[in-house]
Chains A and B, each alone.
Chain A
Amino acid sequence: MKEITAKIQETAARLLESGQVDIFIGWQKGEFEYNTKPFFAHNVEEAKNLVFDEYSIHNLSNYLLKFRDGHEKIGIVVKGCDSRGIVRLLQDNQFKRDRLYIVGVPCPGMKDPLKRMYEDSGFAVKKPADSEMAEKCRHCIQPNPVIYDELIGEEKPPLLKGERFKEIKELEAKSYDERYAFFEKVLSTCIRCYACRQVCVACNCRTCIFDETKPQWVGRETNVSDNMMYHVVRASHMAGRCIECGECERVCPVDIPLMLINRKLIKDVAEFFGPYEAGIVYEEGAKPPLSMYKEDDPDDFI
């Protein structure tokens, strides 16, 4: 990791020095050894603060949305899942490829700084998981960047062990009532902080449906019905677009198993319209399955 950090600093310094990029997005160390956080280097001097360590978990591609209306050239470090986020933005026409210098780093699997912060806070929090590696990384099928200008480090094997959709199949096997009860339980705890939406690179609508007021599509009460409406609508907007970075579930302060919903949709889209993996290859002009129409699209579920 130290070598990777050194190379990232070197690349960032080179790009910032030459003016090839105006801002370089990576990570910096936090107050504790484990709370690595997003960092925006604006000059050569600041490039020295960049790090890449086992807590560099954030999907930084979401931050590009802050710059989508500008002209800055941006350097950015991406892991496998984050790079799929870049493909998402390019496919959705949210960013121009030529404004980006992408530094890819194959990912060995990350630990979650947020989880450590919670655990070390002294507050009553969920018991630690049985693995040091972040939950999202245990489901990883793409540790290696799929789009980059420069690759730092050796390619890594996928981290997913066992069957990919095991939990989804278990859920599918349950009765309608059991599933309803399950989702009612997990979604009733939602505090509507919208962190899942805010960290999501696929949530790149300029005006989110949940912020609209005329009409107000979803009520603002925190109750099961409004919460479900929020999550069901958000999930359906993710169908065929979720790049499986798992950030939504990771940042949820009340531990809603959001990836369970997203993976169900990933599985369904692949079965109905696939094979398909969102953001795994960048092809100019290509669209996700639900953003286009084909005559032979299945419709027997309608």
Chain B
Amino acid sequence: MKVFKKGRLEKILDKLSESAEVYVPMMRGAQSGFFDYKTYNPDFDELVLEALNVLRPPKEVVFPQTEKMYSFKQEGQDVIIDKVYEDENPRIIFGIRACDLKAIEYLDEVFLTCGYEDAFYKKRRENTVFIANACYTPGKNCFCESMGVNPVEPELADIVLREYSDEGYVWEVKTEKGENITRLISDLLEDKEVQLPELKKFVIKVDYDGVAEKLKGLFEHPMWDRLSEPCQTCGICTYICPTCHCFDIQVKAWGDEGYRFRCWDSCMYREYTQMAGGHNPRETAKERFRNRFLHKLEFFYERYGKPLCTGCGRCVFVCPSGVSIVKIIEEIKGA
């Protein structure tokens, strides 16, 4: 087995950063997310590869919250597209968990399949390498296993890291992309036979079986009135969700030039469904809330054959009003 000692982590990241943007789980001030290692400042940031996960999901590496698409200017009677901002920089997401990697697989479905290819996403995605971090100890709100994720065998990974003890990580190469990356740091790896930990039991189990089918007849069910009561329609759940991918396309312009950009949008917001004539089909929390869960648990399944939830547990612990998708799935089962 190839392994590396924890003391060598920063050396590895330094080396990888020479040829790519390396996104690493970090605590930055009060927030945690995947940040570019080049911006790592040990006085202010903390590397948190050992934490269960970070609050801001790594989806933003391939699908940034705000992304410039192209800029334009007016010349005489014509409008000239000045620049198209397709981003091909090589990137590595270092330490991504299986749930978040599964989420990228779902984003791939949305942005690359069923007859639609999103050029901006594609460029970023093709140039991204995933170094996953296998999860052996599920957290209090984790239920990835119930949503079809194997936490110790992250799919799509080019390399899998396995924390075998406090000493270090196994470095397991999975793909050719992974081979190429490994060559860059091979002098920092060593050969060692180690015992891998066992996957601990999940506290939370969710039974998603049959939920999508059942939901077909539940659009008008009174449970949505009650379940949505505490929801205050903020967008935290959608923005920290590794799978939520709704966006809006807008423009900023001054005089005769400007740029078009896209930015995350949230089905929790009024503006999301505001229609030109003033009508809003999702006026209250109930309609927005219902749509969010139907999208996750029914509509996405109908289109792609899987639910739009990987059981990462983020929305469960961040909701100011205590809404839990685990409870909602239970309610649907019982409805």
Contact = CB atoms under 8 A, between A and B. Distances in A.
Interface in B137-174: 137, 139-142
Interface stretch (A1-9, A136-144, A167-175, A251-259): A251-259
Interface residues of B, number: 57
Contacts of B66: 221-223
A193 B239 CA distance: 7
A35 B322 contact: yes
Contact of B274 (A36, A114, A194, A213): A213
Contacts of B239: 191-193, 253
Contact of A253 (B65, B236, B263): B236
Interface string A192-230: 111101110000000110010100100111110000000
B318 A118 contact: yes
A62 B53 CA distance: 32
Interface stretch (B2-10, B24-32, B114-122): B24-32
A120 interface: yes
Contact of A37 (B285, B313, B322): B322
A123 B140 CA distance: 10
B48 A38 contact: no
Contacts of B31: 126, 189, 253-255
Contacts of B234: 193-195, 197-199, 251
- Most central of A38, A63, A123, A254 by chain B CB within 10 Å: A123
Nearest to B250: A220
Nearest to A200: B232
Given A199-B320, A221-B261, A254-B31, A123 B52 contact: yes
A84 interface: no
B250 to A, nearest CB: 6
B248 interface: yes
A30 B137 CA distance: 23
B182 interface: no
A121 interface: yes
A216 B233 CA distance: 21
B140 A251 contact: no
Given A62-B232, A198-B232, A255-B31, A122 B139 contact: yes
B71 to A, nearest CB: 14
Contact of B320 (A114, A125, A211, A222): A114
A121 B54 CA distance: 10
Contacts of B318: 114, 117-118, 253
A89 to B, nearest CB: 15
A233 B226 CA distance: 34
A294 interface: no
Nearest to A117: B317
B208 interface: no
A92 B333 CA distance: 42
A58 interface: yes
A23 B146 CA distance: 36
Contact of B25 (A30, A35, A38, A124): A124
Nearest to B248: A220
Given A37-B321, A38-B321, A192-B235, A122 B263 contact: no
Given A31-B324, A37-B321, A251-B320, A123 B233 contact: no
Contacts of B271: 211, 213
B317 A121 contact: yes
B127 interface: no
A250 B319 CA distance: 12
A250 B240 CA distance: 17
Contacts of A161: none
A189 to B, nearest CB: 6
Contacts of A195: 232, 234-236, 320
B55 interface: yes
Interface in A158-182: none
B50 to A, nearest CB: 9
Contacts of A199: 232, 234, 320
Interface in B217-239: 226, 229-230, 232-236, 238-239
Interface in B293-334: 313-314, 316-318, 320-322, 324, 327
- Most central of A66, A114, A213, A247 by chain B CB within 10 Å: A66
A60 to B, nearest CB: 10
Interface of A: 30-32, 35-40, 58, 62-63, 66, 113-114, 117-118, 120-126, 189, 191-195, 197-199, 207-208, 211, 213, 216, 219-223, 247, 250-251, 253-255
**8 shortest A-B CB distances, which residue pairs?**
A37-B322, A122-B139, A122-B52, A255-B30, A195-B234, A124-B51, A124-B48, A251-B320
21 contacts: A31-B327, A37-B321, A38-B321, A40-B230, A58-B320, A62-B232, A63-B230, A117-B316, A118-B317, A121-B141, A123-B53, A123-B314, A189-B31, A191-B56, A192-B235, A193-B234, A194-B234, A195-B235, A199-B320, A247-B320, A253-B239
Interface of B: 25-27, 29-32, 46, 48, 51-56, 65-66, 137, 139-142, 226, 229-230, 232-236, 238-240, 248, 250, 252, 261, 263-266, 269-271, 274, 284-285, 313-314, 316-318, 320-322, 324, 327
